[in-house]
Amino acid sequence: MKIGYARVSSTEQSLEVQSQQLEKMGCEKIYQEKISGKSADRPELISMIEFARAGDVIHVTKTDRLARSTIDALQIANKLETKGVGLILHDLGDVDINSDIGRVIYTTISAFAEMERKRILQRCAEGRALKKSQGGHLGRYKNEKLHSQIKDYFAKGMNKNLISKTLGCSRTTVYRVLGNEF
């Protein structure tokens, strides 16, 4: 059986392109999830590995969709190889990863995917540090209108839980805005 695996990192991203590609490849079952690749605890990935039987072949459009660390990538490949399941990553030229040459290519590309992830995190940290050193704002801006409403309701005697429900904000926000006002 041809099995497909599609993943994006966040809920705002779309799985549509990957899913369409996997369907064109003839995948009969496609596992999809919106979760970071850094986590090895991905429910759909785990379900797919458990579902796959000897002789099945798992298709993934790009290496970084399957794993973001070399160790994780190799562990997934080993689990599948132990079960007799093939693994084809289409950005590697349709090579079965469980072949000798495929494993070398897979290991190398996985190492580059891991390095790129670290570089992205480093660039983000550098950007935040630069912004902070220039006195720039990091994070969300205060919702002054909401904060004013919270203070007004509290001054009128409304309890914090009811303020939260009335304004549709978290109790944490109410407590943070009111600070030591009890």
For residues 91 and 64, is the Cβ–Cβ distance under 8 A?
no
Residue of 9, 47, 99, 170 marked catalytic: 9
* 170 labelled catalytic: no
What's phi and psi for 180, nearest 5 deg?
Answer: -90, 5
Question: Which pLDDT does position 181 carry in this prediction?
Answer: 61
What is the C-alpha to C-alpha distance for residues 36 and 182, in angstroms, rounded to an integer? 41
Q: What is the pLDDT of residues 17-60, one digit of tens each?
A: 999 999 999 999 999 999 887 777 899 999 999 999 999 999 99
For residues 8 and 14, is the Cβ–Cβ distance under 8 A?
yes
* Alpha-helical segments (H) within the chain: 16-24, 43-51, 63-66, 70-83, 100-133, 144-155, 160-167, 171-178
pLDDT along the chain (182 residues), means of 10: 93 91 96 84 93 95 82 86 90 74 78 83 91 87 92 93 93 88 56
Q: How far is CA 24 from CA 14, 30, 59, 67, 179, in A?
A: 17, 12, 11, 23, 57
Question: Which pLDDT does position 111 carry in this prediction?
Answer: 79
- The reported pTM is 0.60
Question: Which pLDDT does position 15 carry in this prediction?
Answer: 93
